[in-house]
C-alpha cells in the first residue's frame, strides 16, 4: 500500500489550514513540509513557526523535509514545533551520522534525502539507523518541475539494498510525480509518494488525491 504525502509548498498559504484539511479528509497519511533556506537551495519557504501553528489541527504525520545548510542547528526547533519525521540532505551536513543521532535523540523519526546526482552508496553506513530515505526526483528548490526518468532505476537499486541488508526503511520519492508516472514509481519500490502541484494545483484537490492513489495502486 502506497502512502501519500502532499507537499504544502504548492498549497494556498493564505488558506493553509483549509488545504491541509482537504488532503486529510481525502485520506492522505503524511503532510510533507518543505523547508528551504535560500542557501542549500535557491528558494526560501517556511520555518518551525508554521509547523507549530498546524500542530494539533490535523492527525497527519508531520514529515519535515529540510533543504537547509547546517541542519543540526534546527533539529530541536522543528522537533519541538511538532515534526514526526525529520529528513536532512546527505549533501548538507559535514557530519551526517551525528545529525541522524541528534534527530533520534529528540524522539523523532529520521530520514536522509539524496539529490538526483548523489549515489545511494553514500548511505551504506547509515542506512540501518534510518526510518526513511527520500529520493529527490527533481533538483530541490521548487515545485512543479519534471520527473527525472533515471530516478526509477535508483528507486529499484535502493529497494534492493534495503532488502539485502534485511532492513525496514521506507522509500519516499519527491518531485514531478503525477497520475501518469506514479505507477512506474510505486512499482519500482516507492512506499511514500510526495506530490505538490499534482495535488494542490488542480481544480478539485480531493479528486486529485483519489486519482493519484488509484493510479499509483494500479
Residue burial 161-186, b: 16+ Cβ < 10 Å; e: rest: bbeeeeeebbbbbbbbbbeebbeebb
Rounded Cα–Cα distance for residues 87 and 108 (Å): 10
End-to-end Cα, the chain, rounded Å: 11
Enzyme catalytic residues: 34, 174
The option from Zn ion, ligand DX5, none interacting with 48 (CB < 5 to 8 A, set by class) reads none
Strand partners, 110: 86
Angle of helix 205-217 relative to helix 16-25, nearest 10 degrees? Answer: 40
**Cβ proximity to Zn ion, 123 vs 218, nearer residue:** 123
C-alpha cell at 139: 533538483
**Shortest distance, position 68 Cβ to ligand DX5, whole Å:** 12
Of residues 10, 36, 41, 65, which one binds Zn ion by CB under 5 A? 65
Site string for ligand DX5, 15-54 (x = CB under 6 A): -----------------x-x--------------------
**R_g over Cα of the chain:** 16
Region from 88-96, 139-147, 158-166, 185-193 binding ligand DX5, contact rule CB under 6 A: 139-147
Region from 13-21, 46-54, 118-126, 168-176 binding ligand DX5, contact rule CB under 6 A: 168-176
Q: Residues within the annotated binding site?
A: 7, 32, 34, 65, 141-144, 174-176, 196-197
Amino acid at each position: 500500500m502506497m502512502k501519500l504525502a502532499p507537499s504544502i509548498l504548492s498549497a494556498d498559504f493564505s488558506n493553509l489550514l483549509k488545504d491541509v484539511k482537504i488532503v486529510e479528509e481525502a485520506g492522505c497519511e503524511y503532510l510533507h513540509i518543505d523547508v528551504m533556506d535560500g542557501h542549500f537551495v535557491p528558494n526560501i519557504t517556511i520555518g518551525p513557526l508554521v509547523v507549530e501553528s498546524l500542530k494539533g489541527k490535523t492527525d497527519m504525520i508531520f514529515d519535515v523535509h529540510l533543504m537547509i545548510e547546517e541542519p543540526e542547528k534546527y533539529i530541536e526547533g522543528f522537533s519541538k514545533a511538532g515534526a514526526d519525521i525529520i529528513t536532512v540532505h546527505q549533501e548538507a551536513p559535514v557530519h551526517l551520522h551525528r545529525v541522524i543521532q541528534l534527530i533520534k535523540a529528540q524522539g523523532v523519526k529520521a530520514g536522509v534525502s539524496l539529490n538526483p546526482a548523489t549515489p545511494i552508496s553514500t548511505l551504506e553506513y547509515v542506512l540501518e539507523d534510518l526510518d526513511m530515505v527520500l529520493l529527490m526526483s527533481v533538483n530541490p528548490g521548487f515545485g512543479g518541475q519534471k520527473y527525472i526518468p533515471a530516478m526509477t532505476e535508483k528507486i529499484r537499486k535502493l529497494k534492493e539494498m534495503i532488502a539485502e541488508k534485511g532492513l525496514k526503511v521506507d522509500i519516499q520519492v519527491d518531485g514531478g510525480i503525477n497520475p501518469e508516472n506514479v505507477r512506474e514509481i510505486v512499482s519500482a519500490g516507492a512506499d511514500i509518494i510526495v506530490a505538490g502541484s499534482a495535488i494542490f494545483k488542480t481544480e478539485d484537490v480531493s479528486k486529485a488525491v483519489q486519482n493519484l492513489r488509484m493510479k499509483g495502486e494500479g
